[in-house]
């Protein structure tokens, strides 16, 4: 059977899985690290991708490949396909002021009106994460660089373009040169830019050049064409992938990381995933997005033709990292300490805004610790307060989804920190719901691989070879059935005192 590859170009690393296209069985995998920081030159992504591909045994035998990637980052290219400045990542908050300015402008000076107009237009109230705010920052802070912008891409768009053989003029690793019109993306990642309406054009989706113009001051730049869920964006250059496959390797449209993970674990309408990674994400698949003018919920598209509603926190697994640093313990020791303290940690409460916060939108906030007494000044109390504070922030996101009428039928706990015994025991107490825990996996890369298999099947159903597949029409085929195996179901164990005491101090100055 043919093989497919899924790529996760995340904030921290590049991970590649190679899977059987029919069964989803893992054949091999590889990974490579990205540098730390909130801005990075995209060449590091390309270098990590090639290292990860080598670690995975090469991609010569794959028939299709797709890329899932961190959302929102700004990759600004000049007319020669060169990166103008380091890409600003989703977690770079320097454009917080630009977000506020754009909200005010669309609302004719009234923030509340502007917030609702942005939510109506693109599904989200602007925060510093979204690409449109970074373009406004570029216009104001680096006007010479802004004037050079010929195309704007997202991280996964740029890497897909490079896999196809395109890139900066004169670069030997980009044999097809700087064809900016060859850039492509998908609805999920485009819907997080702030200048794409996934429900526009009667549901087909469309860019909003007026909003792009508000940010950058002009709209004469190339934006990646937006593909449907099973459309091919082209064929991988044989030097990168598919050289041993007749016709080469199709490239899928890719996806934003949250949409990729949703596809990887098989989410459908009614499913909610609580992901604890670099960021914390409460995501729900729904038939249509909402337009939450409060900004608590972002209305994006998913990778399968539905809406993906997100509440995102900047502070998730790194809250636990901070706790380990403070206490001088490893992951297992932190969990053991936290489980020695009672629910609610006897009133010790951490509000975990350690790096500012996105939901709620408080980019300049700091963390606060409340209820410090002699009785709570113990290592177990502190460990549990960190775990509970992180989970309470995510529980607020789940409440916000419900308030918008988003159906919640099944809750899944995913991400690296989901494997912590303390997180698994405390989460049902904080959320008050039964929780399913899928088998550990590289969910974003798995979702990208599932998409690649979908693209391959769609091309086959259309009677096309990879070199003649029509990228212009979405497939009516459903994605292959690669649903993740549930390793555990955690029974509900509501402890309302945890969230009650958190709510009392959450909004204190």
Catalytic residues: 257
As given in the structure block, the two tokens for residue 387 are 């775990």
Instruction: Give the Cα separation of 26 and 443 in Å (integer).
Output: 12
Largest CA distance in the chain: 73
Residue carrying structure tokens 């850039």:
183
What interhelical angle do 43-55 and 155-163 show, nearest 10?
Answer: 60
- For the stretch 377-381, contacts whose Cβ atoms lie closer than 8 Å and that sit 24 or more positions apart, written own/partner, are 378/341, 379/327, 379/337, 380/337, 380/338, 380/340, 380/341, 381/341, 381/345, 381/346, 381/348
Instruction: Give the Cα separation of 30 and 10 in Å (integer).
Output: 14
Q: Are 293 and 111 in contact (CB under 8 A)?
A: no
Task: Count other Cβ atoms within 10 Å, centred on residue 372.
Answer: 14
Instruction: Give the chain's radius of gyration (CA, Å).
Output: 22
Instruction: Give the Cα separation of 127 and 71 in Å (integer).
Output: 13
User: Is there a binding annotation on residue 71?
Assistant: yes
Question: 208-219: buried (b, 16+ CB within 10 Å) or exposed (e) per residue?
Answer: beebbebbbeeb
Q: Tell how far CA 165 is from the center of its chain.
A: 25
DSSP, res 229: T
DSSP, res 251: E
Angle, CA 291 vertex, CA 285 and CA 296 arms, to 5°: 80
| Phi, then psi, of 325 in degrees rounded to 5 | -65, -45
Concatenate the DSSP letters of all residues of 69-84 into one string: E-SS-BEEE-TTS-B-
User: Is there a binding annotation on residue 34?
Assistant: no
Residue carrying structure tokens 């990075």:
40
- DSSP lists the bridge partners of residue 5 as 18, 65
Concatenate the DSSP letters of all residues of 307-354 into one string: EEEEEEES-SHHHHHHHHHHHT--HHHHHHHHTTSPTTGGG-EEE--B
- DSSP lists the bridge partners of residue 370 as 349
- DSSP lists the bridge partners of residue 206 as 197
| Phi, then psi, of 310 in degrees rounded to 5 | -130, 140
Residue 484 has, within 13 A of its CA and on its CB side, a CA count of: 27
Binding site, annotated residues: 71-72
What residue numbers does the annotated binding site for substrate cover? 71-72
């Amino acid at each position: 059977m043919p093989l497919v590859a899924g790529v996760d170009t995340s904030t921290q690393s590049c991970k590649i899985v190679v899977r059987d296209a029919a069964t989803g069985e893992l054949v091999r995998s590889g990974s490579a690290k990205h540098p730390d920081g909130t801005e990075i030159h995209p060449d590091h992504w390309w270098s990590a991708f090639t290292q990860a591909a080598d670690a995975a045994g090469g991609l010569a035998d794959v028939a299709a490949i797709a890329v899932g990637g961190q959302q929102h980052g700004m990759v600004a290219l000049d007319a020669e396909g060169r990166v103008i400045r380091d890409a600003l990542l989703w977690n770079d908050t320097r454009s917080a002021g630009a977000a506020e300015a754009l909200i005010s402008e669309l609302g004719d000076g009234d923030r509340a009106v502007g917030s609702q107009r942005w939510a109506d237009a693109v599904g989200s109230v602007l925060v510093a994460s979204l690409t449109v705010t970074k373009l406004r920052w570029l216009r104001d802070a680096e006007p010479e660089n802004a004037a050079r912008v010929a195309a704007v891409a997202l991280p996964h768009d740029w890497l897909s373009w490079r896999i196809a053989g395109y890139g900066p003029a004169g670069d030997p690793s980009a044999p097809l040169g700087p064809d900016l019109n060859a850039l492509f993306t998908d609805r999920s990642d485009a819907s997080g830019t702030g200048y794409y309406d996934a429900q526009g054009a009667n549901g087909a989706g469309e860019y909003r050049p007026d909003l792009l113009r508000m940010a950058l001051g002009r709209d004469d730049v190339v934006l990646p064409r937006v593909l449907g869920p099973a459309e091919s964006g082209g064929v991988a250059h044989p030097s990168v992938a598919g050289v041993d496959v007749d016709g080469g390797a199709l490239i899928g449209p890719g996806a934003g990381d949250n949409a990729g993970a949703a596809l990887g674990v098989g989410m459908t309408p009614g499913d909610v995933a609580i992901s604890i990674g670099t960021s914390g994400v409460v995501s729900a698949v729904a038939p249509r997005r909402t337009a939450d003018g409060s900004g608590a919920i972002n209305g994006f598209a998913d990778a399968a033709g539905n809406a993906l509603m997100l509440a995102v926190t900047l502070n998730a697994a790194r809250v636990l990292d901070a706790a380990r640093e403070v206490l001088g313990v490893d992951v297992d020791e932190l969990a053991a300490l936290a489980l020695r303290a009672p629910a609610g940690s006897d009133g010790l409460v951490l509000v975990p805004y350690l790096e500012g916060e996105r939901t709620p939108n408080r980019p300049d906030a700091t963390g606060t610790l409340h209820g410090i007494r002699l009785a709570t000044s113990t290592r177990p109390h502190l460990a549990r307060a960190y775990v509970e504070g992180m989970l309470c922030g995510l529980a607020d996101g789940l409440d916000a989804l419900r308030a918008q009428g988003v159906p919640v039928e099944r809750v899944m706990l995913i991400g690296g920190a989901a494997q912590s015994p303390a997180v698994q025991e405390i989460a049902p107490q904080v959320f008050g719901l039964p929780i399913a825990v899928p088998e550990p996996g590289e969910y974003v890369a798995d979702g990208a691989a599932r998409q690649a298999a979908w693209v391959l099947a769609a091309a086959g159903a259309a009677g096309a070879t990879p070199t003649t597949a029509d990228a212009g029409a979405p497939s009516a085929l459903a994605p292959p059935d690669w649903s993740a195996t549930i390793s555990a179901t955690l029974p509900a164990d509501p402890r309302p005192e945890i969230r009650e005491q958190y709510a009392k101090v959450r909004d204190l100055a």
